[in-house]
Amino acid sequence: MTEVIIGSRESKLAVLQSEMVKSYIEQKNREENAGSEITVNILTMKTTGDIILDRTLDKVGGKGLFVKELDRALLDGKSNLSVHSLKDMPMEVPKELPLLAFSKREDPRDVLVLPEGVAELDPDKPLGCSSLRRTLQLEKLYPEMEVKSIRGNLQTRLRKLDEGEYSGLILAAAGLKRLGLESRISRYFTPDEMIPSAGQGILAVQGRKGEDYGYLDGYCDRDAWLAGAAERAYVKYLDGGCSSPVAAFAEVDGDEIFIRGLYYSEATGKWLTGQIRGAAEDGEKLGIALAKQLKSDCEGR
């Protein structure tokens, strides 16, 4: 009997995402009837990022705060895997804790959610938004609206919205859809209207170096891996943490990849978007090339 322990944040969405990986491992084991039965359990924990809710992420160390406790559990042997939303993963990943696989991508778009029973935005209340990336792009989409930071898990944010604190929320479609809350979506933003966060809609499975992860064979989605790697290369080149006001979104079509990027210059206060296309296998190089170009254009170099 082999036991696999998956480390997960304790939020409802995080546990559901870990259960998706758990189901894959169990189904694969049943189909292959490998001789040694695998049991899979989920170990939940509250991360520092879940505890500190009174400040924006860029003030308290970025979204790396959502993975520290899960990393420690992996290193200490308390878990065999961690499941993360790729958009919450720091760009620098410890060599001893490699990323093993990316899931097939869920809807990567950002969306507008209105209070229940409401049909349009109330200009007297702010839009709730958790990232500088979204805030920048919202100023162009809704120049008349105030944007106010909101923290907490998805259920907490929706409760604050429905209690009247906000006119609307900007959220990721993926989380809402995975939780069966697609009906709450009032508007989808196209990637040209609002470039998503790097990795949005992709689940990342992280493991421990030197371990046998044969039970994950077949889980990794090729297109998601190529797109996610290109997006992360773009952000990493710009030295952007997950809370930095940069964005990258890649689409893979066969052997071709199309990448959109956003760059914000703190020095000039300007931000630009751009795009690049090329061979899918060169996605990381293309992501870096786009980052270099936008940084040069934005800072006048």
135-166 pLDDT, tens per residue? 999 999 999 999 999 978 899 999 999 999 99
| Together in a domain, 161 and 91 | no
Is residue 192 included in any domain, yes or no? no
The average pLDDT across 239-252 equals: 81
CA distances for 118 relative to 40, 105, 157, 184, 221, angstroms? 42, 30, 16, 11, 38
Would residue 193 count as lying in a domain?
no
Residue 8 belongs to some domain of the structure: yes
Q: Are residues 207 and 224 in the same domain?
A: no
| Statement to judge: residues 205 and 252 lie in one domain | no
Write down the pLDDT at residue 131: 86
Q: Are 121 and 148 in the same domain? A: yes
- In three-state secondary structure terms, 80 is coil
- Per-residue confidence (pLDDT) for residue 55, from 0 to 100: 45
pLDDT digits (tens, 9 = 90+) for 167-218: 999 999 999 999 999 999 999 999 999 999 999 999 999 999 999 999 999 9
At 4, is the secondary structure helix, strand, or coil? Answer: strand
171 and 289: one domain? no
Gap between the Cα atoms of 220 and 215, Å rounded: 12
Residue 61, pLDDT > 50, answer no
Query: Is the confidence at residue 301, as pLDDT, over 80?
Result: no
Residue 25 has pLDDT above 50, yes or no: yes
- The confidence band for 54, taking pLDDT boundaries of 50, 70 and 90, is very low
Does the structure show a pLDDT above 50 at 56?
no
Is residue 127 in a domain? Answer: yes
Which tokens sit at 210? 């030197």
Which tokens go with 8?
Answer: 């997960």
Residue 191 lies in a domain: no
Q: Average pLDDT over the chain, rounded to whole? A: 90
Q: How far apart are CA 161 and CA 268, in angstroms?
A: 34
Neighbours of 22 (CB within 10 A): 20
Asked whether residue 89 falls in the same domain as residue 143, the answer is no
52 pLDDT higher than 80: no
pLDDT band at 242 (very low <50, low <70, confident <90, very high): low
* 173 or 67: which leads in pLDDT: 173
Q: What is the rounded distance in angstroms from the CA atom of residue 128 to the CA atom of residue 170?
A: 6
Mean pLDDT value of segment 20-33: 90
Q: Hey, how many other C-beta atoms are within 10 angstroms of the C-beta on 107? A: 19
Torsion angles phi and psi, residue 58, rounded to 5: -65, -15
Is position 192 annotated as part of the catalytic site? no
**What is the C-alpha to C-alpha distance for residues 104 and 111, in angstroms, rounded to an integer?**
20
CATH number at residue 2: 3.40.190.10
Pairing of strands 147-149, 127-129: parallel
Residue with tokens 């997950």: 242
What is the average per-residue pLDDT within 26-41? 83
pLDDT at residue 243 above 90? Answer: no
Note down the domain range covering 260: 220-300
Is 194 a member of any domain? no
**pTM for the full model?**
0.90
Looking at the structure, tell me whether residues 272 and 128 fall in a common domain: no
**Residue 86, token pair as written in the block:** 């790729």
Active-site position among 71, 88, 110, 221: 88
Residue 274 lies inside a defined structural domain of this protein: yes
159 and 230 within one domain: no
Q: Is residue 270 part of a domain?
A: yes
Asked if 71 and 215 sit in the same domain, the reply is: yes
Give 279's strand partners.
Answer: 256
233 and 167 co-located in one domain: no
Residues 92 and 235 in one domain: no
**Same domain, residue pair 97 and 134:** no
The answer to whether residues 169 and 161 touch, using CB atoms and an 8 Å cutoff, is: yes
| Domain tally, the chain | 3
